[in-house]
A and B are shown apart, each in its own frame.
Chain A
Amino acid sequence: MSVPRYWREIPSRYRLIGSKCVNCGKTYFPPRRVCRECGSVSLEEVKLSEQGRIITWATVYDPPRGFEKYVPYIVAIVELDDGTRIMTQITDCEPDEIHVGTRVYAVFRKIREEGESGIIYYGYKFKPLK
Chain B
Amino acid sequence: MRKVAVIAIGYTKVKEHWGLSIRDLFTEAAIMALNEVTIDRVDALYVGNMSSGYCQHQEHLGALMADYIGLKSPPAVKIEAAGASGGMALREGFQAVASGLHDFVIVGGVEKMSDVLTPDITYAMAMAADQEYEAFIGVTFAALNAMIKRAYQHKFGVSDELMATLPVHCHDMASKNPYAQYPFKITVEQVLSSPFVAEPLRLLECSSPADGAAILILCPLEKAKEFTDTPIEIVGVGAATDAIALYQRDDLTTFKATIEAANIAYKMAHIKPEEVDVAEIHDSFSVTGVISLEDLGFFEKGTAAKAISEGEIAPGGKIAVNTFGGLKARGHPIGATGVYQAVEIVKQLRGEAGKNQVDNAEIGLTQNIGGVGGTVTVHIFRRVR
Which A residues have a C-beta under 8 Å from some C-beta of B?
Answer: 1, 5, 9, 13, 29-30, 36, 55-68, 70, 72-73, 75-77, 85-89, 95, 100, 111-112, 121, 123, 125
Contact = CB atoms under 8 A, between A and B. Distances in A.
A123 B289 CA distance: 34
B198 A56 contact: no
A31 B137 CA distance: 17
Given A57-B147, A59-B198, A77-B147, A87 B139 contact: yes
Given A1-B136, A59-B196, A65-B119, 18 more contacts: A13-B136, A56-B148, A58-B149, A58-B198, A59-B198, A60-B138, A62-B122, A64-B138, A65-B123, A68-B119, A75-B147, A85-B247, A85-B248, A86-B247, A87-B137, A87-B245, A123-B136, A125-B137
Given A58-B143, A64-B119, A5 B132 contact: yes
Interface residues of B, number: 39
Interface of B: 118-120, 122-123, 126, 130, 132-140, 142-144, 146-151, 154, 195-201, 243, 245-248, 252
Contact of B138 (A29, A30, A67, A77): A67
Nearest to B195: A61
A110 B140 CA distance: 18
Given A58-B200, A58-B201, A61-B199, A73 B138 contact: yes
Contact of A63 (B122, B147, B200, B243): B122
Contacts of B197: 61-62
The CB with the most chain A CB atoms within 10 A, among B146, B149, B247, B252, is that of B247
A22 B277 CA distance: 49
A63 B247 contact: no
B248 A62 contact: no
A89 B198 CA distance: 13
Interface of B is mostly: helix
A38 B202 CA distance: 40
Given A65-B123, A68-B119, A57 B150 contact: yes
Given A30-B132, A86-B247, A60 B198 contact: yes
Contacts of A66: 119, 123, 138
Nearest to B200: A58
A30 to B, nearest CB: 6
B379 to A, nearest CB: 27
Contact of B154 (A56, A60, A61): A56
A58 B206 CA distance: 14
Contacts of B133: 29-30, 86-87
The 3 closest A-B pairs by CB, nearest first: A58-B146, A59-B199, A64-B123
Nearest to B141: A64
Contacts of B119: 63-66, 68
Contact of B150 (A29, A56, A64, A123): A56
Given A57-B150, A76-B147, A62 B134 contact: no
B143 A60 contact: yes
Nearest to B144: A58
Contacts of B198: 58-62
Contacts of A73: 138
A99 B199 CA distance: 13
A5 B201 CA distance: 31
A54 to B, nearest CB: 10
A42 to B, nearest CB: 20
Nearest to A111: B137
A58 B199 contact: yes
Contacts of B199: 58-59, 61, 72, 95
